[in-house]
Amino acid sequence: MQIGKVLHQIYRVDQFLGEGGPSVVYKGTDLLLGLPVAIKQLKQDDGNQLLKADRFLREARTQARLTHPHIVAIKAVFENEDGYFIVMEYVDGTDLEHLIRDSKTLPRLPLEQIGEIFGQLLDALYYAHKEGVIHRDIKPANVMLTRDGKVKLADFGIARSEHEEKLTKTGVLIGTPAYLPPEQLHGKPLDHRSDIYSIGAALFESVMGRTPFESLDEDRTIHQILKDHLFSPPPSLRALGADIPEALDLIIQQCLTKTPEERPANCKELRRILLSVLPSAPTASSDMLPAVLPKPLPTPIPPSRQEPPLPKKQKPLSALEAQQTLSADAPTPSSSRTALFAGIAALLLLLVAAILFLQRPKDTPQQPLSPTLAIGTHPTLSPSKTTLSPKEPRQTAPLAPSRRTTPATRQQPTQPPENPLPSGDNPPPPPTGPPFPSQDRTPPTARAQIPPLAQPKQTPPPPSVMAHGEMVLIPAGPYTQGHPLDKAERKKQRANNDHPTRISDIRNFWIDRFEVTVQQYNDCIEAKSCQRLQKRKQGFLFVQGRRVDLLRNRPPKEPVRWVEWKDAVDYCIWAGKRLPSEAEWEKAARGTDKRSYPWGSEEPKLCEQAKFLGCQNDLHGYEELPYEVSPRLRITGKSPYGVYDMAGNVFEWVQDCYDPKAYTMLPTKDPVLEKADCKERVIRGGSFRTLHSIRTYRRYGEPIQSRQVDIGFRCAWSAEMQHKIPSHRHQGPVQKNFRDDY
């Protein structure tokens, strides 16, 4: 194309920008509006020109009907003797690919910048998906960035609309191999989750500087990259040395899962989760997905209206100063009478100020006008007012943190009792940061300057609660909840998955290290806060059998069984605790690495990790009766946080009502399902009578009046989320147990 040529009598070609695929791009000028434009020309060759023209025009039609501030706008489409042309908005800036390539740090882009760029990009993609358009070629080279940081999504050349005919032949691979989802490689139908996979690859590259299955040390062929996209799990960015939050690593891995069902539901959900774990949020967004705006800054005051800083004691103004002040604030006088009134007012003001100055007491020390001082630096407070005397007893009730309380006056939280387990058995200490890291959007440099009193503390349970069993702190933060249908479930031909994969964000909480024992429950019975666990024996003909105490002669350290849901609730209330939510229980069992068992993802070895179906003949010297619960401590089967028997032994009641669609209905932040008429509650963890149920993600519904030989419980506690326990006295007949043990 000749530089300087005018196309369509409006658009002048000014500069060659580049070429890629079937088109060439020039910078031009709209002569009518005097604005820069980008001109894309379809290359003319002999190879299948008609099909290329159809795809070229389809790009124009698809992109032209997408009106969004973060999508490059189409201005015109025409044809002349030189071929087909698309005139579009010119983006004065760079693209994400050059931004990543020019960076030499790790991560390649600051987390704040990643949040700003991908927040706008996901905003645009969510809008396109709502309009029925799948981009199919999301990569950093197609993400344009203006000089003021605004994102523009470009190149809809292979985008597919739900309402348009398919132009790609079967078996023909289109798109960039490093960002293609597995279903696109298989030739399967695509939907909006295919773009989410490409977003995950672009996020990976924004952190690491390369796509998930590329290597900087060796050259890999396209065949090897495509094979990894099909069969290899994505590597962990933190394992590769990237200093990023664990939650961000989990989100990127979830986007790169092989099956679309395991990825985030849509770009709106992904955008919300992504911005919740990054230190800042974008300030520019469309009306489709409004961004979380920062706190508004105060309106700047013009220099002419600014007041000078006041000293510790306001001094009287002289006549000249008062007159200058009044003349600066008052409008210009239009007559000598206005000037006379201004002079009289200045004299009166001077007189009043002089009287006040003479009446000021001379012996009173001057105090600062503002009561706000740096913590611990008040010049007039004596030590007796800020510290407690050694003879004075400290208050036992926890004090709420105050910004004006010095560190000496803050009460230290009560430490939990020492762990009776061996020293090597204790879990690593939890992080001491804020309890809600997913909501912290403060930049790292600013976060380090926050005074200690501004950090929320992790309140431990009071001694009265800790007296009813050792508890473990589960730190706050997101984790992967749920799992796709496993082999056993597919073998049973389950049509629906009641535990689909999703990211849940849980506040910190405490959970019992061990299941509630027979001795602990008997203590509650003796305190007349729990009812006895009884069952009638089989009678003869119409005569009812006598009642039998189910806990009689049971080992005191054995997990309590035969408890209904209301029995578990009664005990936890008596102990000052509550039942854990289903999401809390799962995080305590599996941690944040998506493990299938508390000890990891490998199958259980004999009976060392758990007591499950098949462990009636223990090969390690511990004699157990067949089909009996085990009180033995199995150290190798504990969870990442040091919680025991969360697989096997006995099922455990949790707080949630059972609903097979709960994961699709509940929010991801501290989810718990309650219903007005809840007849089924969730049990987790499997038991000594099951095998496949001991996986951490399995969930079952059990009638709340079910009294089974293999159902027990454990309790939880948290300062922020002591859920209100609903009425649990369910009226009605006891339902049959329909639990399906695979």
* CA 510 – CA 718 distance, rounded (Å): 6
The first and second tokens of residue 258, run together, are 């092989």
Count other Cβ atoms within 10 Å, centred on residue 30. 16
The first and second tokens of residue 526, run together, are 């003796």
Is residue 342 exposed (0-12), middle (13-18) or buried (19+ Cβ within 10 Å)? middle
* CA 430 – CA 474 distance, rounded (Å): 8
**Close Cβ partners of 353 (under 8 Å, ≥ 6 residues apart):** 316, 317, 322
Contact 406, 450 (CB under 8 A): no
The first and second tokens of residue 705, run together, are 């009046």
* CA 326 – CA 416 distance, rounded (Å): 66
* CA 491 – CA 499 distance, rounded (Å): 16
φ and ψ at residue 121, rounded to 5 degrees: -65, -45
Half-sphere exposure for 324 (CA within 13 Å, toward CB)? 6
* CA 124 – CA 126 distance, rounded (Å): 6
Q: What DSSP state is assigned to residue 105?
A: S
* Pairing of β 651-657 and β 711-712: parallel
**Close Cβ partners of 599 (under 8 Å, ≥ 6 residues apart):** 609, 636, 637, 638, 639, 647
Q: For residue 363, give the 3-state DSSP assignment.
A: coil
For the beta sheet containing 680-684, the strands, ordered from the edge strand earlier in sequence to the opposite edge, are 699-703, 680-684, 651-657, 711-712
Please identify every residue annotated as catalytic.
137
Exposure string of 502-535, with b = 16+ CB inside 10 Å and e = fewer, is bbbbbbbbbbbbbbbbbebbbbbbeeeebeebee
3-state class percentages of the chain: helix first, strand second, coil last, to nearest 5: 25, 15, 60
Contact 656, 582 (CB under 8 A): yes
φ and ψ at residue 628, rounded to 5 degrees: -125, 150
